[in-house]
Amino acid sequence: MSLQLGLQIALGVIMVVIAIIAVEAKKIISSVIYLSLLSLLAVVGFVLMSAPDVAVTEAVIGSGIVTFLFVFTLIGVNKQTAIKEDSINDLDVHTISPLEGGDIK
């Protein structure tokens, strides 16, 4: 079982690094995508810890639905920003979509 132990240690190190990147990233959208990646690695961890039920649930919900909710929060807000810029000029907001490299203040 030493192979499994080695896999767990390697997975753990990668997960910790990705979690730090997700918390510390400058761009919001990359933070969200690293969170999705962390979720996917957690699925591998659950399979290694012999919990297939939890792994299936985390794969569907953690890395699919939660990412959708975050991304569409950002997209919806970006549209509202563009509308607000017409009425209030001194807001100084970005209008580039976060998916195209811009960022939301």
Residues in the chain: 105
* Contact call for residue 83 and other proteins (CB under 8 A): yes
Options 6, 89, 101, 104; binder of other proteins; rule CB under 8 A: 104
CA distances from 50 to 53, 62, 67 (A): 9, 18, 25
Options 3, 86, 88, 101; binder of other proteins; rule CB under 8 A: 88
* Contact call for residue 10 and other proteins (CB under 8 A): no
* Contact call for residue 44 and other proteins (CB under 8 A): no
* Contact call for residue 90 and other proteins (CB under 8 A): no
* Contact call for residue 72 and other proteins (CB under 8 A): yes
DSSP secondary structure string for all residues of the chain: -HHHHHHHHHHHHHHHHHHHHHHH-SSHHHHHHHHHHHHHHHHHHHHHTT-HHHHHHIIIIIIIIHHHHHHHHHHHHHHHHHHHHHH-STT----S-GGGT----
Which residues sit at the interface with other proteins, rule CB under 8 A? 1, 8, 11-12, 15-16, 19-20, 22-24, 28, 31-32, 35, 38-39, 42, 45-46, 48-62, 64-66, 68-70, 72-77, 79-81, 83-84, 88, 91, 93, 97, 104-105
